[in-house]
Amino acid sequence: MPSNAEQAKEAIEVVCPGGLDRMEEFYRPDFHDHVNAMEFHGFDGARESVALYRRLFADLKIAVDKTVSEGDYVATHWTLTGTNRGRAVTLTGNTLSRFEDGLIAEDWGSTDTIELARQLGVWRTLLMAVTEWRLLLELARH
């Protein structure tokens, strides 16, 4: 059986960029995801979270740089790469995962949204906000 650190790494590298068909291998059905200021619940919430990132970056890839594990918790530092409207973006982030019975029960993830805006530039950031405003408002309600 893989360790919690191995499970967290594979979940981030496989499921988070879009491998949703493997979600049940890594996450509990009652999974609770905290991403920056947003929250998602269960498998449907995880699908919603992944869909948001896939809409922003169709060629999304995430590589785990480092994991640290203690008990039921795994801290993961990762690098996201993708393209938004022709502009390549590289962001780093951190996720703290809590495990129950070998599956991820809860994640707390954060990225530097100011760095995202800096890399996209003012006009692309504004365009993203305008074109995705309905989605962003809906996510803010979670």
* Per-residue model confidence as pLDDT tens digits over 86-124: 889 999 999 999 999 999 999 999 988 778 778 877 666
pLDDT of 133: 52
C-alpha separations of 134 from 2, 5, 52, 54 in Å: 40, 36, 12, 16
**Mean predicted confidence (pLDDT) in 121-131:** 65
Closest CA to 62 of 79, 40, 45: 79
Is the residue at 79 inside a domain?
A: yes
Task: State whether residue 121 is helix, strand or coil.
Answer: coil
Instruction: For residues 41 and 3, give the distance between their C-alpha atoms in angstroms, rounded to a whole number.
Output: 24
**Mean predicted confidence (pLDDT) in 66-80:** 97
Is the residue at 16 inside a domain?
A: yes
Question: Domain holding 41: CATH number?
Answer: 3.10.450.50
Q: Read off the pTM.
A: 0.84
For 126, list phi and psi in degrees, rounded to 5: -65, -40
Is the residue at 140 inside a domain?
A: no
**Mean predicted confidence (pLDDT) in 120-142:** 60
For 112, list phi and psi in degrees, rounded to 5: -90, 95
Is the residue at 42 inside a domain?
A: yes
Is the residue at 113 inside a domain?
A: yes
* Residue, of 136 and 91, whose pLDDT is higher: 91
**Mean predicted confidence (pLDDT) in 3-7:** 97
Is the residue at 115 inside a domain?
A: yes
Domain range for 104 is 4-135
Number of domains comprising the chain: 1
C-alpha separations of 95 from 75, 120, 129, 137 in Å: 6, 23, 24, 23
- Asked whether residue 24 carries a pLDDT value surpassing 70, the answer given is yes
pLDDT of 38: 82
Is the residue at 118 inside a domain?
A: yes
Confidence class for position 139, pLDDT limits 50, 70, 90? very low
* Residue, of 140 and 50, whose pLDDT is higher: 50
Is the residue at 51 inside a domain?
A: yes
Instruction: For residues 122 and 120, give the distance between their C-alpha atoms in angstroms, rounded to a whole number.
Output: 7
Q: Average per-residue pLDDT in the chain?
A: 87
